[in-house]
Amino acid sequence: MDVGGSDSCRISASITHADDDETEEILLDALRALVEHADSVERRPPVRLPEPSALELEQAMLPRAAFFAPVEHVPAERAAGRIAAETISPYPPGVPAVTPGEVITDAVLDYLRSGAEQGVLIPDAADSSVHTVRVVTRADQG
């Protein structure tokens, strides 16, 4: 049974035609054991989700222009104020938090980095740990 879309906050099990009563019972037994031992599971700090308005970034360049512009990879600590040259979509929910051409903010970086530290999947970023970010070079920020 595939649970590949699970993270530190969610369990996403895919039951398919290849599963049967036995595989479903294994899943249920594992979920019961998780509930039974939940108090012993180490608590991790929460993902630092900003206010929704903080996720509305300024569009400084057209997405296509930013994506195909000369780029560099900078440490996340130096990415605020720079124009993104990549899409960064934490999963779940899978909605882009950053798209090419947007001006990256500290609030969004904090959200993405705290999520990556907690096991949130960031499949489309050049660096899924968000230690570095792909940005438009300063000379091409237009």
Q: Where are the alpha helices (DSSP H) in 20-105?
A: 21-36, 63-68
Strands (E), the chain: 71-75, 132-136
Quick one: pLDDT at residue 101?
97
94 pLDDT band, cuts 50/70/90, is confident
| Residue 81 predicted with pLDDT over 90 | yes
CB-CB neighbours of 6 under 10 Å: 14
Q: What size, in residues, is the chain?
A: 142
- The tens digit of pLDDT for each residue in 32-64 reads 998 898 888 887 777 888 888 999 999 999 999
| Residue 142 predicted with pLDDT over 60 | no
Q: The tokens of 60 are what?
A: 């400084």
Quick one: pLDDT at residue 126?
95
140 pLDDT band, cuts 50/70/90, is low
Quick one: pLDDT at residue 34?
87
